[in-house]
Amino acid sequence: MSKVSNHRYSDNVRARTKPRPGKPLREVSVGSVLKWLALGVAGLWLACALALVALKWIDPPTTAVQMERRVEAWMHAKPYRKRCQFVPLSQISPNLQHAVIAAEDARFYQHHGFDWHAIELAAENDMQGGRRIRGGSTITQQLVKNLFLGTERSYLRKGTEFTLVPVAEFVLGKRRILELYLNVVEWGPGVYGAEAASHAWYGTAARKLSRDEAARLAAILPAPRRRRPERMDHYSDIIQERMRQMGW
């Protein structure tokens, strides 16, 4: 092969193997990422708001907390048995209704989702290093957390809760909020709702709970997986005293 042919052959090989300039990748701007993130958060918020509307008539099949507990059990290879039975508010003893309100949210029927006075007192108590049996969260706030947000703490979750609580108050009303809360709240490992709690701890229906039994169940709500009703002598006495002060 001649030198001219060799040069032509080499040029052809280089031409074929030389990478062709492609289209440059578009840079993703921070603004674009934030835009899509905001749209995602707005979509989730809208889904939760629509779910609250549906919950005015439909009982929830599960909650964020219940799903979280199931995942935790699966991750730690622990057995998990869910006990939950939804019952109308009329089938839950007034003793338990009153005990839970007295323990968790004494101004439940006066506020519109947030008890700013209780939040202020809780903050002052924390700064002074005192002990309290409940925080500043209302029953409505706790219901929203149970239904949609789980137990993890974050600013995003707190912001979502803050905006959904007024929706819950407006759409559901006090009676339905209390009914939902008493039926979904955690009352022990795998135990959710007043009916399951009554059977698990006292072997009776929620409508038959005595005043003392109701106060003891209300006393374990701040730490339901660690506390046991039979050990709640001091806290149950405080709750029953609050009930008397509230006219119950």
Q: Check residue 76 and give its pLDDT.
A: 94
Cα separations in angstroms, 235 against 97, 118, 147, 182, 222 = 17, 18, 27, 19, 11
**CA neighbor of 235 nearest in space, from 223, 213, 219, 246:** 219
- Within a domain: 152: yes
Q: Could you tell me if residue 145 is inside a domain?
A: yes
42-51 pLDDT per residue, tens:
888 899 999 9
From the first residue on, what is the mean pLDDT of each consecutive set of 10 residues in the chain (248 residues)? 49 50 56 74 87 96 96 94 96 98 96 82 56 72 96 86 95 98 97 98 98 98 96 97 97
CATH number of the domain within which 210 lies: 1.10.3810.10
pTM above 0.85, yes or no: no
Q: What pLDDT sits at residue 193?
A: 98
CB count in 10 Å sphere of residue 26: 7
Q: Is residue 10 part of a domain?
A: no
Domain range for residue 85? 60-245
Structural domains counted in the chain: 1
Q: Is residue 162 within 8 Å of residue 132, measured between CB atoms? A: no
pLDDT of residue 204: 97
Look at residue 158 in the predicted model and tell me its pLDDT: 87
**What's the pLDDT at 49?**
93
In a domain, 174, yes or no: yes
Q: CA 75, CA 70: separation in Å to the nearest integer?
A: 9
Helical ranges in 18-86 per DSSP H? 30-54, 64-75
Is 161 contained in some domain?
yes
Residue 53 lies inside a defined structural domain of this protein: no
16 within some domain: no
The answer to whether position 118 is within a domain reads yes
